[in-house]
Structures are given as structure tokens and as C-alpha cells.
Structure 1
Amino acid sequence: MSADRFAVLRPAALLAVAAVLTACTGTGGSSGGGDGTPRDALRVTPPPAHAGFDYQLGGAYPPPEGVEVVVRDHTASPAPGLYNVCYVNAFQAQPDAEDTWEPGLLLRERGGDGGDGGGGGKVVMDTDWDEALLDIGSEDKRERIAEKVRGWIDTCADKGFDAVEPDNYDSYTRAPKGLLDADDAKAFLTLLAAHAHDRGLAIAQKNTPELASARGEVGADFAVVEECGRYEECGDYTDAFGDRVLVVEYDAAGLDRACAGWGDQLSIVRRDLDVTPEGDPGHVRETCGDG
């Protein structure tokens, strides 16, 4: 999702995985051992498990009592004394921000003339949220796109964030057939993970349950997932990440389902669709212990 509005999300082993992750990615970082976590994750620390959690992409505000983990946009500042995750829209352009990217780095339909010097056909859009997809379909373009995203990651590190959340890992599923695939997405996230780790930041996989099993391959340290309760996907993430999963639900039924299945293991919060700051009309924040 973009930082200023909601994005639609698609629709005994646990204990073993949790034990491995605790040993390999707890305080002090990964050992680079049995779960496939890369050695460059040694210097990073994932968020604490089963912690009070708030998702503040619509605007920063003082975290409620009991919150230990906060997600904020890279343009915001981290919350003092807490574990802070920094949001960047890595796989798509923000709404109305296509002109901040080289035309040739925007994903285009095959054939035709896009009319803006980028070559090829029309820019492929995430029509739900009016975001242009970035063309991560070649090594050269992935590197050029990553150069810009690395700058945002550097901003996160310089501000004192603890981790980064690159959004729209699943953008390849919204591309016309044959333009992008899962391997492209994994290759790009691998580039971002290496840089995040170099800067001492843990990195999240955002959504995309079908790629959760590749967490070691790409270097993801934890997951930030939206509506896994609603869509009954939480187990897909815990199979790969153990209890290192931050869950955001957007309706009461999703919160109830997430809390019933995972409330004693995962960090879970319900937010309003626009993730509005506390005090603004429409603000909603609930947790498993409320009500």
C-alpha cells in the first residue's frame, strides 16, 4: 500500500520454525545457518515477537501505551525508544509520481508508443490505486531502480529506523502475462535486502504468501502482512517466519480470525483503511485484547 492510503491485498512445524528463527535472527542477528538466512543478516535484529504493534502509514502520532513496534513512512521520523520499521514503495511508483522515474524504468505493455519517450506501449498501472509498476524484468533495470530505492533505505538508516518494509513485492502478479514473474520479484528484493543489511537494517517481506518459502533465498528477516486473518493466510507466513510476523487487519472479522488463530504468537493490529492518525475522523486502532 502507498503511505497515504490503503492498498487491496489478495487473497508442531510452527514451533520448530520459531525455534530456528529465535536462534538465528534474535538479538544479535542471524547466524546464517540452518534456515537459509544469508550471512549478511548477522548484524541486524528483527522486531520482537508478539509485541504491541501500530501501523502509522497515514501519518505519525504518539504510539499508544504498550506499543513496542511502529511502522512509519520513510518521510517520517522514528518513534523514540521503540522498534521502528520504515516503509518504502519499492516495486511501484507512488500515485502521480511516474515523472520522478526515468521513463524507461516504468513497466510498459508490449508494442506501440507510450508517447513519453520511454519506448514500448502504455505504462502498466495498478489501477486500484493509480500506481505505475516499475520494470524489474531485467538485471540492468533492477539495478537502476534499486539505486533510487537504496537512497530511501539510506534515509531510513540515517534517521535511526531499525528495519525497512519494501511494499508491492507482489506487483508482478498485476503485470500482463509474460512481462514480470516471481523470479524478477525475488531478484529485486534480494538487491534491497543486501543493501538494508549493509546499513544495519532488518528487511521485511510484504504480503505475497506464495513467496514466503523463499525468505532465506532473498534475505527477508520478518514479514509485514495485511489481512492474513481475513484470507486465512497467516499460516503461510508462520511456516516461513515463525513468530516474526506483523499482521494488519482492516475489518473486525479479520481481526477476530487472526486473534483466534495467532493472537498468542504474532503482533496483530486492526487499523482503518486509510491508516489515519489518532484524533482524525475515521481513525480505528484495535488489538486482540480490546473488547
Structure 2
Amino acid sequence: MGTLRRLPRRRSPRLPLAAAILAAAGVVIVALLALAAQQSAGGSRTAPPWRLPPANSGFDYQIGGPYSPQPRAAVVVRDRDTKPAPRHYNVCYVNAFETQVVDEGFWMRRHPDLLLRIDGSPVEDPNWPGQYLLDTSTAEHRAALVKIVSAWIRGCAAKGFDAVEFDNLDSWYRSNDRISVADNLALARSLVDVAHDHRLAAAQKNGAVLKDEGRETAGFDFAITESCEVFDECDSYTDAYGARVFEIEYTDESGDPFPRACAARGGRISIILRDRLVVPEGKPDYRYDAC
């Protein structure tokens, strides 16, 4: 900013009181009309500084390891320890509500107090051996978790990701009532704020029971959902986020839900089929398909 110079004050012409009031009112009206026009046009004052993913676009889910994205994929999700895919919209995967198997030692050695425990033992996710729930049940614990996860979010931004997804938002289901929905929403709100501060959009990962709360309370911008066709909960996401829903169905699910999902919503949102361990292309169990 340059040096400000004090200019001589000009003498205002004297106006009759009524004329002065009308002139001032006119200025206010013009300003209000200009502001309304800007908001109606989606002007820069109301637009967020982070980019949203393209709605109903090609999608690839690569948290098991990076590979060249599928030709139609505009949106790619990768783990925070990897690099974004060039010339794509990249979502950074962060396991914010449970430990990763590869990070188990980090939590056990450095932050054992932040693991949810029952009778002194860490609570393990029944579906993922070696993955333990983080304790979001107190404000003190949530503050400590925000400090740790914020460093990961900053890393995602520094690498050039466009958004971040926080996995296991729905860990309250597996907590034996030690964690509440409100506890996880409070942590999510803080993490979304950090993401937005770093110009990253934030994805709600699962948690269909939240309905509009994910968007309105936590501040999420779009949704990534697993197996919503299987559990008949896809409408909860589309009602909240419209076409910005990215649905994953898996090959090991009974009833062949992928073709049903494509028939029901394939023209409105992004839907893909993946192997359960989402291994990289070229691995024996790799599977990918899209509507």
C-alpha cells in the first residue's frame, strides 16, 4: 500500500435540508441495488475461496495406492501421503476419526490418551482390524485432535489438493455409546473450518443419518458415500448436496447393488464400483467400473 497523503478538505455547498436527505437516500438505494445485483450474479464477495468438485463428473477412488486415473475421471481421491493427480480435481483422504493401521504406533506411543477406551482397552473397529477409534467425547480431546489433524490438512493444501475428506465421521456407531453424534459433529466443524482456512473444500464421508446436519452444522461442501445403495440411504446425501455426491459401491456386496445404483441415479451423480481394498490398477484384485 502506498503512502497516504492528506488532501485539503473541500467545503460542501449548502443544500436545503430536504434535498440533502433525498440525496443521501439516493446514495443508499444505489448501493443496496448494486449489492443485490452482485449477490444475484454470484459475485466475488459471496463466493468461497475454495473450489468445489465438478458435479456429476467422472470419479476415481485411489486411497489404496495411486495410479493413472481412469480416462473419464475428473475427480480423484488419494491418501494424504501421496501426491495429487496432475490436471484433476484432487481430494485428500484423511482418517480423522479413527487411526490408520500404518499410523497405529504414532497414536499408541505419542497420544494413547486420545484413543477411545473401554475398561482400559482401545476400541477397535470391528470391520478393520488394527484400526482404533479416536476419543472425541470431550472438548479437551477434540482440541488435541484438531491440532494433530490440522497439520495433515496443511500438508494436503501444500501438496496442491483441492479438497479433503474426513473418514469415519460415523465412528459413533462403533463406540458402544461412548461417542455421540454431537461429539463428532463438533470435531467435524473445527476440521472443516481449518480446511476452508487453507482454501480446501471439505467432503462429508458417510454418516447418512445426519441428513442436512453435515452441511448446515459441520459446514461440509459435498459428500463421498460408500454403499449407500446397499443401505438405502442415498437420498439423504442427494437431498443435502444435490449432484455433488460421489458414490462408491463395492464388488463384495451382496445383491449386485452397482447396476441398481446406476439405474437409479447414474445420470445425476457420480457412481463407481471398486474392490473393497481399493488396490492400485495392475494388482490382482483391482476392479473399477463407472456408470
TM-score, normalising length: structure 2: 0.80
Which one of the candidate residues 247, 260, 263 is aligned to 1:260?
263
**Structure 1 position 46 matched with structure 2 position 55:** no
Aligned pair count? 243
Structure with more relative contact order (C-alpha pairs < 8 Å, separation 6 or more): 1
**Structure 1 position 73 matched with structure 2 position 79:** yes
Cα 1:176–1:103 shift into 2, 3 Å: same
Q: CA shift at 1:270, angstroms?
A: 0.5
C-alpha offsets along residues 25-77 of structure 1, whole Å, 9 cap, x if unaligned? xx99994xxxxxxxxx8211221111010001111001121110000000110
Q: CA shift at 1:176, angstroms?
A: 1.5
Q: State whether residues 28 and 44 of structure 1, in contact with CA within 8 Å, keep that contact through their aligned partners in structure 2.
A: no
Find the residue that maps to 2:220 and give its secondary structure.
coil
| Aligned mates of 1:268, 1:28 — CA distance in 2 | 32
Which one of the candidate residues 103, 111, 119 is aligned to 2:112?
103
Q: Which amino acid aligns with 2:105?
A: D
Find the residue that maps to 1:49 and give its secondary structure.
coil
Residue number in structure 2 paired with 1:156: 156
Percent identity, aligned pairs only, is 45
Find the residue that maps to 1:256 and give its secondary structure.
helix
Residue number in structure 1 paired with 2:204: 205
Find the residue that maps to 1:132 and give its secondary structure.
coil
**202-211 or 97-106: bigger deviation:** 97-106
Cα 1:97–1:65 shift into 2, 3 Å: closer
| Aligned mates of 2:211, 2:163 — CA distance in 1 | 18
Task: Report 1:184-223 matches (<5 A).
Answer: 184-214=183-213, 215-223=215-223
Task: Report 1:1-291 matches (<5 A).
Answer: 31=46, 42-95=48-101, 97-101=103-107, 102-109=111-118, 112=119, 121-130=120-129, 131-177=131-177, 179-214=178-213, 215-251=215-251, 253-288=256-291
**99-108 or 85-94: bigger deviation:** 99-108
| Aligned mates of 1:59, 1:29 — CA distance in 2 | 37
| Aligned mates of 1:87, 1:28 — CA distance in 2 | 31
Find the residue that maps to 1:125 and give its secondary structure.
coil
Structure 1, unmatched stretches of 5+, are 1-23, 32-40, 113-120
Find the residue that maps to 1:257 and give its secondary structure.
helix
| Aligned mates of 2:69, 2:88 — CA distance in 1 | 9
Q: Which amino acid aligns with 2:181?
A: A
Q: Which amino acid aligns with 1:172?
A: W
Q: CA shift at 1:253, angstroms?
A: 1.8
Find the residue that maps to 1:286 and give its secondary structure.
strand
Structure 2, unmatched stretches of 5+, are 1-38
Cα 1:29–1:157 shift into 2, 3 Å: farther
Cα 1:255–1:28 shift into 2, 3 Å: farther
Q: State whether residues 29 and 44 of structure 1, in contact with CA within 8 Å, keep that contact through their aligned partners in structure 2.
A: no
Cα 1:216–1:29 shift into 2, 3 Å: farther
Residue number in structure 2 paired with 1:19: none
Q: CA RMSD in A?
A: 1.9
| Aligned mates of 1:29, 1:185 — CA distance in 2 | 32
Q: State whether residues 230 and 257 of structure 1, in contact with CA within 8 Å, keep that contact through their aligned partners in structure 2.
A: no
Q: CA shift at 1:264, angstroms?
A: 0.7
Cα 1:96–1:76 shift into 2, 3 Å: closer
Cα 1:167–1:53 shift into 2, 3 Å: same
C-alpha offsets along residues 185-214 of structure 1, whole Å, 9 cap, x if unaligned? 100000100000000000000001001310
Cα 1:53–1:29 shift into 2, 3 Å: farther
* Structure number, greater radius of gyration: 2
Find the residue that maps to 2:75 and give its secondary structure.
strand
Q: State whether residues 60 and 72 of structure 1, in contact with CA within 8 Å, keep that contact through their aligned partners in structure 2.
A: yes
Q: State whether residues 29 and 45 of structure 1, in contact with CA within 8 Å, keep that contact through their aligned partners in structure 2.
A: no
